Structure 1
């Protein structure tokens, strides 16, 4: 009897001790099929591999950056989401689309790491002979509908005095490359990570010129200046100066410090590997930390301090 009891106790102890502590995280980014959703898939795979299975990330399709922020109100410690820092600031201040929808939960949002920025591309066919914004007069441009790129593109045309001087094609952005090949449009505007898949396709199949902004134009946009290096796209012999909207992976203070630390460390350690299959990760570096204007999670801060990576005073 004694022997049986001892065996039972030992067996119970083995059953009660897990092989490892597993942390499950939900990562909410963008709609399925987009480059940002694919980034989430890569991050999920990197977290599993980099933590030896200790962190399991489930990808959840997002309906937009604003909605990602709003869901903070009902989510727990396992919620990670992507959005531009500017939207977090608006939520915390109860401004713009968050007016009348303020919530104390927004004040608990904390940054982890930057991901590829939404980068503006004004893509013109070589046949259009457009090499600057001044050359756009009389040309037909496809902006798309309902996206950040469409809204931002229309804003730039207005800022540069071109709104009534160009023809706007009534078509979806998904048709842009085909329309460019067929000569139905002279160019299109798109915003996404770089290299952008639709721009890669257009450059390789048709031949394109991607417009650069001068310093005055960049200042007019109130966006972050970004340089796309020469050689990024087929036929691109010089750097392209354009603008971008930074995008960051966030969580809240509900996440424990160790999990935030491990996620941040694993992301940076896996970035080079992820870039082997998706070059857009090459555009992410330590300098992008300067675009994170709000507070960072204490776990992320611990990693950046250990790694000697620069932070803003407002990140603490």
Structure 2
């Protein structure tokens, strides 16, 4: 009997060991925990777990930013996934800007998996301000915030479109933008994030607002990617909003095996509808956004796209 129990115990131990080896562990380097992009990462983690029946487990790691994510790709293992704008990957591979003097041959091994919601510029003004176009912000009190992509981009546009020194820049934190807009302390604010943006939803629900559109000429001048926010995204928004965006993509490297890259990519797209039901920002993502990816797509991910009939460009292969 003791021998029988010992054999059963050994068999169970082997089975558990084999099961643990069968499970793939992925590290997903995202953003600060306070960011919507961290929440997206958590949602993707759950989506992959659900779609693969827990064969792949994704652990989300906080990050201080996209530059850190790219830098870590040079020394992280095969199952490292991270998010960053495609432009930063190009800069890293060419040793330019913030990557000058920090080149690493491992950067050439970075490969894309799938797009996630873009950083979308929102120029939000109160209805009572009377502002209907970018130029009409002249003489108005506008909140930019500081240090964020949206603040830097907003300041760039103000200068680029001839409004530098003609707008009163509010000395208010972006976290207070909605309340400042409601009480008339400011005429508008600039913010960037996936759409629908929570602070814009709050502003639109609590008071009359307008999200400004940019002209095609202004978008070309900005050198950013054109993005259309559908009508009805925000309360009182009856028409489309044309604005700019900074694409964001989930990447890995050639060290990841094709089967894992395929499974993660398939899980992401399979579960996107379910994620959209909970978080509307997923509605803005489609396979058309693969055109925003500059550089190669991982062969495992490319296999999935080919299976669903998506034509990839030569640059992606």
Pairwise TM-score range, normalised by the shorter structure = over 0.9
Equivalent residue number for residue 42 of structure 1:
43
Equivalent residue number for residue 106 of structure 1:
107
Partner deviation per Cα, 1:212-257 (whole Å, 9 max, x = no partner):
0111111100111110011000000100000111000001111111
Q: Aligned pairs, how many?
A: 314
Q: TM-score, normalised by structure 1?
A: 0.96
Equivalent residue number for residue 24 of structure 1:
25
How do residues 232-247 of structure 1 correspond to structure 2 at under 5 angstroms? 232-247=233-248
Is residue 293–residue 312 contact of structure 1 (8 Å, CA) maintained in 2? no
31-40 vs 18-27, greater mean Cα deviation? 18-27
How do residues 85-96 of structure 1 correspond to structure 2 at under 5 angstroms? 85-96=86-97
Give, in angstroms, the shift of residue 58 of structure 1. 0.9
For the residues of structure 1 that align with 2:97 and 2:257, how far apart are their CA atoms?
Answer: 31
Q: Deviation above 6 Å: which 4+ runs of structure 1?
A: 3-7
For the residues of structure 2 that align with 1:195 and 1:179, how far apart are their CA atoms?
Answer: 20
Equivalent residue number for residue 263 of structure 2:
262
**1:204 corresponds to 2:202:** no
Give, in angstroms, the shift of residue 105 of structure 1. 1.2
Q: Secondary structure of 1:141's match?
A: strand
229-238 vs 24-33, greater mean Cα deviation? 24-33
**1:115 corresponds to 2:142:** no
Q: Secondary structure of 1:73's match?
A: coil
Q: TM-score, normalised by structure 2?
A: 0.96
Equivalent residue number for residue 222 of structure 1:
223
Is residue 289–residue 310 contact of structure 1 (8 Å, CA) maintained in 2? no
Which runs of 5 or more residues in structure 2 are unaligned?
A: none
Partner deviation per Cα, 1:190-210 (whole Å, 9 max, x = no partner):
010000000000000011110
Equivalent residue number for residue 131 of structure 2:
130
Give, in angstroms, the shift of residue 19 of structure 1. 3.4
Give, in angstroms, the shift of residue 60 of structure 1. 0.8
Is residue 143–residue 190 contact of structure 1 (8 Å, CA) maintained in 2? yes
For the residues of structure 1 that align with 2:195 and 2:204, how far apart are their CA atoms?
Answer: 13
How do residues 1-316 of structure 1 correspond to structure 2 at under 5 angstroms? 12-17=10-15, 18-19=18-19, 21-316=22-317
Q: Secondary structure of 1:254's match?
A: coil
Give, in angstroms, the shift of residue 5 of structure 1. 6.9
Partner deviation per Cα, 1:85-117 (whole Å, 9 max, x = no partner):
000000000001101111111111110000000
For the residues of structure 2 that align with 1:10 and 1:258, how far apart are their CA atoms?
Answer: 33
Is residue 124–residue 208 contact of structure 1 (8 Å, CA) maintained in 2? yes
Is residue 286–residue 310 contact of structure 1 (8 Å, CA) maintained in 2? no
For the residues of structure 2 that align with 1:63 and 1:11, how far apart are their CA atoms?
Answer: 46
Give, in angstroms, the shift of residue 140 of structure 1. 0.9
For the residues of structure 1 that align with 2:126 and 2:101, how far apart are their CA atoms?
Answer: 45
Is residue 31–residue 37 contact of structure 1 (8 Å, CA) maintained in 2? yes
Partner deviation per Cα, 1:19-51 (whole Å, 9 max, x = no partner):
361111111111112111110110011111111
For the residues of structure 1 that align with 2:166 and 2:123, how far apart are their CA atoms?
Answer: 16
